[in-house]
Amino acid sequence: MIQILNFTKEKIKIVIAMLIWGTIGVLVREINLGSAEIAFFRALIGSVFLFILGIFKKQRLTGIELKRNLSLLILSGAIIGVNWILLFQGYKYTTISNATLSYYTAPIFIAVFSSLVLKERLSIKKITYILVSIIGLFLILQAGGTSNISSYNNIKGILYGLSGAVLYSIVVILNKHIKGIPAFTITLIQLFVAGMVLLPLVIGNDKLNFGLVDAKSWIIILLLGIVHTGIAYLLYFSAIKEVEGQSIAILSYIDPIFAVLISFIFLGEPMGILQMLGGVLILVSTYLSERK
């Protein structure tokens, strides 16, 4: 832990990225667009930003590398787009803390899928951590069901968060099979593909009228695309090569903790004893499962 607290320049970058990502839920709540449209603009603006940045960074990709990994890049990019929709839907149906904590069960799904697909050994400890995480999720469901905020459909929102976690874990598994391409380039291509996959949903929405979207929403969308996608991904990927995996795992918990704190302070979202206990169980079990 002392080593982790010894913040280097790279670790500070990761912390900043996590703090940025922790505010996504609050921002999404303020955009008067559907989840598909928000996800589309995030992918579009983020990919354009990274493309321009890539030109200055002189990022290059050979045709052989692209052809070899094209199917995986397209599939993972498409899943990322749908994954964002599910997470944003979670924000709309339940509290940000519920959606975020549900989404943060992703490492548990990664452990399960790694065992099934990559044939990685699923130890007794890993199984125990998964069971503890499930108990934590059950407590959140119990707490969510007693929420006195009538506009929430907690069960539905939590299920959206869990569905997003499943898709995110699939992206992680797919990315393990992508070889010979820098993380920056992978992210750029995946964001572009996500935008292209979501484009038909946006075009096919007959009820959508961009003229009704206020200036505040457009400003937040720009922030979401440039800061929360382009800049945050750049900070994260430029730092992870220099930071140990265990340190990254621990620092990544700044994201959900900050998200819960922000939603409590600025939105006044309830956070009961059962919900806090469930969140602690999920975060602690996931952290322990990622330790070396």
Q: Where would I find the beta strands (DSSP E) of 46-190?
A: none
Look at residue 188 and tell me if it is in a domain.
Answer: yes
- φ, ψ (nearest 5 deg) of residue 6: -80, 85
Rounded CA-CA distance 76/190 in Å is 7
Look at residue 13 and tell me if it is in a domain.
Answer: yes
User: Per-residue DSSP letters for 234-251?
Assistant: HHHHHHGGGS-HHHHHHH
Query: Model-level pTM?
Result: 0.85
**Cα atoms in the Cβ-side hemisphere of radius 13 Å centred on 248:** 14
In this structure, what DSSP letter does residue 33 have? S
Look at residue 97 and tell me if it is in a domain.
Answer: yes
Rounded CA-CA distance 257/158 in Å is 17
Rounded CA-CA distance 279/85 in Å is 23
pLDDT of residue 17: 92
Look at residue 3 and tell me if it is in a domain.
Answer: no
Look at residue 4 and tell me if it is in a domain.
Answer: no
User: Per-residue DSSP letters for 158-181?
Assistant: HHHHHHHHHHHHHHHHHHTT--SS
Rounded CA-CA distance 208/54 in Å is 33
C-alpha dist (Å) from residue 35 to 47, 139, 289: 18, 27, 31
Rounded CA-CA distance 166/172 in Å is 10
What range defines the domain where residue 267 resides? Answer: 9-290
Look at residue 137 and tell me if it is in a domain.
Answer: yes
| Consecutive 10-residue averages of pLDDT for the chain (292 residues) | 60 90 93 93 95 80 77 95 95 89 83 77 78 80 54 82 93 86 87 94 79 89 95 84 70 83 83 80 75 57
Overall domain count for the chain:
1
Rounded CA-CA distance 219/213 in Å is 11
> Is the distance from CB of 69 to CB of 178 less than 8 angstroms?
yes
Look at residue 2 and tell me if it is in a domain.
Answer: no
**Cα atoms in the Cβ-side hemisphere of radius 13 Å centred on 282:** 30
Is residue 287 within a helix (H) or strand (E), and if so which, with residue range? helix 273-290
pLDDT tens by residue, 80-108: 999 999 999 999 998 888 898 889 888 77
Look at residue 280 and tell me if it is in a domain.
Answer: yes
pLDDT of residue 84: 96
